[in-house]
Amino acid sequence: METTNLYAAWVGILLGFVAGAVQGLLFHKDDWLGGYAAWPRRMVRLAHVAFFGIAFVNLAYALSVRALGIERPSAWPSRLFLVGAVTMPLVCYLSACRKAFRHLFPIPVLSLLVGAVIFVVTEVFA
């Protein structure tokens, strides 16, 4: 299953580059998405960073499973890291469009947190 996380990591890195390129075409405009400190612009920047950050979480997971020689890792960390990779940028972009979507942030945050706890407790310190 960690192979899926490796693929997800590279897809996330690619999407981070694409999101950054698109934003880079417009960031010079002072009033873009309401200005530098505006909620929509902050959420779009956070989505861009989330692509990279969670891609590195998935990459670290996949490489850790291999480096530690874990033959049968629990499927839950893998699944939860994949949920985080999809939902964090999605919730950021949705929140940029409508602020009420910010209430969905516990979904990606908890999936990443619980995935990390499960991996550390069941695999790293087992």
pLDDT tens digits, one per residue of 66-84: 999 999 999 999 999 999 9
Q: Count the Cβ atoms, other than its own, within 10 Å of residue 27.
A: 15
Using 50, 70 and 90 to split pLDDT, how confident is the model at 118? very high
Cα–Cα distance measured from residue 114 to residue 91, given in angstroms and rounded to the nearest whole number: 18
Cα–Cα distance measured from residue 39 to residue 33, given in angstroms and rounded to the nearest whole number: 8
Could you tell me if 51 and 19 are in contact, meaning their C-beta atoms sit under 8 angstroms apart? Answer: yes
Residues 6 or more apart whose CB falls under 8 angstroms from that of 108 comprise 50, 83, 84, 87, 88, 91
Token couple for 55: 């891609």
Could you tell me if 73 and 46 are in contact, meaning their C-beta atoms sit under 8 angstroms apart? Answer: no
Cα–Cα distance measured from residue 116 to residue 119, given in angstroms and rounded to the nearest whole number: 5
pTM for the structure as a whole: 0.93
Mean pLDDT of 96-110: 98
Cα–Cα distance measured from residue 27 to residue 70, given in angstroms and rounded to the nearest whole number: 44
Using 50, 70 and 90 to split pLDDT, how confident is the model at 27? confident
